[in-house]
Amino acid sequence: MSGTSIDGIDCALTRIGPGGIELLATCEHPITEDTRSRIAAISRVGSNEIERMGALDRELGELFAAATLSLLDQSGHQVDEIRAIGSHGQTIRHLPPSVHQPPEQGFTLQIGDPNTIAQRTGITTVADFRRRDIAAGGEGAPLAPAFHAAAFATAGVARVILNIGGIANATLLDGTGGVRGFDTGPGNTLLDHWIQRHRGTAFDRDGQWAAEGEVDSALLAQLLAHDYFARTGPRSTGKEAFNLDWLDRQLQQLPHSPDARAVQSTLAEFTAATIAEGITREATRVDEIYVCGGGARNTDLMRRLYRRLSPAALDTTAALGLAPEWVEAAAFAWLAWRTLEGLTGNVPAVTGAARAVVLGGVYPGGASAVAR
């Protein structure tokens, strides 16, 4: 799994069976700054896109394969012990039917060639999970809610699983088997890009810089006026909507110029506000909220969420037995298992698809393919 933050490849080795999902080993495989820059560049409209994308697709396939083999080496497991790799890939464009015109041509695109992964590792690879949901009329996202329900639902408990990656999404588990979910809006993406621009660091560790600033109420109100936050029901978004160019336009429209630290604080409040508003508007009851993704490590952001979501209990998914940084990688291992078992992986109430479908394509491995 490599998310919208492009901060590394999250690798999870799991054992899945009737008893549930067991996390056996993990590692974070690095992505070089040069590769990160080219991923960010291909995620924007530019020249010579097809050739650049094709080359990067192969490069990331090699990188995901190397990440897989590194995880196996570190954990002491062998290729022939592994049934399959579930590769989410790297999203470079997400324009689902709800935002694309015409809607029937809406699409999402993840790269990281699964043919290359299967060839280099010798392991059957399941990939391209999102496009089948879009073909069924859905948003292609979020897909994690099905896994959240399988891993974290408890009868009688109204529970929210909140993933804060570059984009944040919430899964509502009502305690009676009902599952709903949606992207709430920006998670870490604006925070990361703003501090990168002004302080040269990849992220705001523990949210310290944001915590030092004061929220600019005029800027916050302007950010909250984005029409995405008026939508209800199945919905998804991405960096196509929420990016530094968009933020710069919002700043230009203000009658004053807040300092960079105040903007960082406002962006943290913006993330917290949109998460809290989305949850409270959609859920009739919330007993517990468990956070996963990189945002779970942002102390300042967690404090802001606690203030807005109290009296619901707030913790990370570690309290449920799965460390927050590995939930998404484990989810795509589980989705790959579902595909190989011929089981559906999407939740129509979440994505808006016409029906539940088996997700992804299967790319066979084989011992003869291994080149190590």
Three-class DSSP category at 354: coil
Q: Which residues are annotated as a binding site for ATP?
A: 3-10
At 49-103, the pLDDT tens digits run 999 999 999 999 999 999 999 999 999 999 999 999 999 999 999 999 999 999 9
Cα–Cα–Cα angle for 295, 300, 306, rounded to 5 degrees: 85
Over range 190-196, report the average pLDDT: 97
Query: Residue 17 has which token pair?
Result: 């069976």
Name the helix (H) or strand (E) containing 8: none
Give 123-148 pLDDT, tens digit per residue.
999 999 999 999 999 999 999 999 99
Residue closest to 54 by CA, chosen among 69, 33, 38: 38
Secondary-structure class of domain 9-140+326-367 per CATH: alpha beta
Confidence of residue 367 (pLDDT cuts 50, 70, 90): low
Q: What is the pLDDT of residues 203-235, one digit of tens each?
A: 999 999 999 999 999 999 999 999 999 999 999
At 101-123, the pLDDT tens digits run 999 999 999 999 999 999 999 99
Average pLDDT over residues 149-162: 97
- Per CATH, is 144-322 categorized as 3.30.420.40? yes
Amino acid at 4: T
- DSSP characters for 296-341? GG-HHHHHHHHHHHTTSEEEEGGGGTS-GGGHHHHHHHHHHHHHHT
- 276 SS3 class: helix
For CATH 3.30.420.40, the residue range(s) in the chain are 9-140+326-367, 144-322
> What is the average per-residue pLDDT within 162-175?
97
Q: Can you say which residues are annotated as belonging to the binding site?
A: 3-10
In 3D, which of 19, 27, 22, 20 has the Cα closest to residue 1?
A: 27
| Residue-wise burial string across 38-69, b where 16 or more C-beta atoms lie within 10 A, e elsewhere | bbeebbeeeeeeeeebeebbebbbebbbbbbb
